[in-house]
Amino acid sequence: MKLIHRLCLPPLTRVVCVNAAFEFNNFLASQCLNSPLLASLADLDESKPPSAELLEALKEFAGIPAEASGPDSLAILAFLYMCLAISAKYGDVPSVDIVVWSELPTGAGLGSSAAYAVCLAAALLHACGAISCPLKDGEITASWRAEGWTEEEMTLINSWAFQGERVIHGNPSGVDNAVGTWGGALRYQSGKIKALKRVPTLRILLTNTKVPRSTKVLVTGVKEKILKFPAIMNPVLDSIDAISQECQSVLEAMPANPSPEHYPVLEELFDINQHHLNVIGVGHPSLDRLCRVTASHGLHSKLTGAGGGGCGITLLRPDTTPQAVEAAKRDLCACGFECWETDIGAPGVTLHSSSSLKAQVLHELSES
């Protein structure tokens, strides 16, 4: 059985393929998990955070050091937890092989862990029959927007993907897995996520500074600064919120009135937002350099993700010429960065037939 899932995650449309499979009964029979833990499996569901006791037992089973925090170790741990919990609630996942292939760099602020978690959730839920197979005869892809999975099934995928993110990050916002599941554009405020309706497709240049960073460490640093300087930091955060609201208003107005006058407003909001992000402590010299290089070409940039390195995005107007983009990319690559031109917005988690996959993906799967 082969389950191929494509995740298109704004702002970068790239592929994570999961060929779902796992010999789960052997895992349950292992001596790693003691009787109290096995007895508690029935209590596992998508609404409860993973228990520290169970995660420690899974680390022991997988041979992961207790202090390990690398992406490979966390990816294995997230998979083991999700497979265990989903199997316990919905029935055994059949014997299968897992292959993960991705063009998303890890630790760069592109939501690679959420892409991984969303694809795993969809594959495992499908494998044990908790969600349907939305592919109809003759179709090569199926997604929620293309009348694939129901809204209830999408909500279930998102909930279990959030559990995977909890294993990896501890206390994530849920934004990345929601965007990865539903696609499009979302607004996150006070713990609530709302889909934006009627947003335009925007051209961007996505640049990876290749400077690694930890979301958890950066978030902790911002919290400490807020506690230390509340009278200074809270107004900055209020201003960032106002920038987000203004940006949302512009984006929602653009489809009905696609005037070029919207772009100077977005560019100014980019600049103000980037300055504020430096103030709260999530900037980095590499990101400052990125902004200077693109500014020399008349373009406007800001960090994306948690900051502290990772990636930045550069807004491209509809009339920005290919020559101008290539000149900017050439200068950014000369800094040791990696660039892609892409669009903001994507359909979210999608089920693909093998015939719809790119040759490179099929090669990776055949080599596994």
Q: Output the pLDDT for position 23.
A: 43
What CATH number did the domain enclosing 30 receive? Answer: 3.30.230.10
- Judge if 218 and 273 occupy the same domain: yes
Considering the chain, what percentage of its residues have pLDDT values greater than 90? 43
What would the two tokens of residue 12 be? Answer: 């970068």
Tokens found for residue 112: 């690679």
Q: What percent of the chain has pLDDT over 70?
A: 84
- 195 in a structural domain: no
pLDDT score of 143: 65
291 and 177 together in one domain: no
In the chain, which ranges are E strands?
4-8, 16-18, 100-102, 141-143, 186-189, 192-195, 202-208, 300-304, 311-316, 338-344, 348-352
In this structure, is residue 76 part of a structural domain?
Answer: yes
**Averaged pLDDT, 35-39:** 53
pLDDT for residue 17: 38
Residue 194 belongs to a domain? no
Same domain, residue pair 75 and 150 = yes
> What is the per-residue pLDDT for 331?
98
Lowest model confidence (mean pLDDT) among 63-72, 151-160, 258-267: 63-72
Pairwise CA distance, residues 324 & 301, whole Å: 15
Tokens of 134: 């939305």
Task: Tell me how far apart the terminal alpha carbons of the chain are, to the nearest angstrom.
Answer: 15
Question: Is residue 206 included in any domain, yes or no?
Answer: yes
pLDDT digits (tens, 9 = 90+) for 157-213: 999 999 999 999 888 888 899 989 988 788 887 778 888 877 788 899 999 999 988
Q: How many domains does the chain have?
A: 2
Which distant-in-sequence residues (6+ apart) come within 8 Å of 61 by Cβ?
27, 30, 32, 33, 80
Q: What is the pLDDT of residue 366?
A: 76
Positions annotated as catalytic residues are 113, 176
The answer on 94 and 213 residing in a single domain is no
Q: Indicate if 355 and 337 belong to the same structural domain.
A: no
Residue 216: what pLDDT?
77
Task: Report residue 3 as tokens.
Answer: 């389950």
Note the pLDDT of residue 140. 66
Higher pLDDT, 164 or 47: 164
Indicate whether 179 and 246 sit together in one domain.
no
Give yes or no for residue 124 having a pLDDT over 90: yes
48 within a domain of the structure (yes/no):
yes
39 and 172 co-located in one domain? yes
Together in a domain, 172 and 212: no
**What CATH number should be reported for the domain holding residue 293?**
3.30.70.890
DSSP for residue 13 = -
| 363 in the same domain as 320 | no
Q: Which residues contact 259 (CB under 8 A, 6 or more apart)?
A: none
Note down the domain range covering 135: 4-187+347-367
- Three-state SS letters, 245-300: HHHHHHHHHCCCCCCCCHHHHHHHHHHHHHHHHHHCCCCCHHHHHHHHHHHCCCCE
Question: Are 75 and 131 found together in one domain?
Answer: yes
Q: Are both 265 and 292 inside the same structural domain?
A: yes
Residues 180 and 247 in one domain: no
Provide the pLDDT for residue 145. 59
Average pLDDT, the chain: 82
pLDDT of residue 89: 87
Q: Is residue 277 part of a domain?
A: yes
pLDDT of residue 159: 94
Q: Is residue 192 part of a domain?
A: no
Residue 193 lies in a domain: no
Q: What is the pLDDT, as a whole number, of residue 273?
A: 97
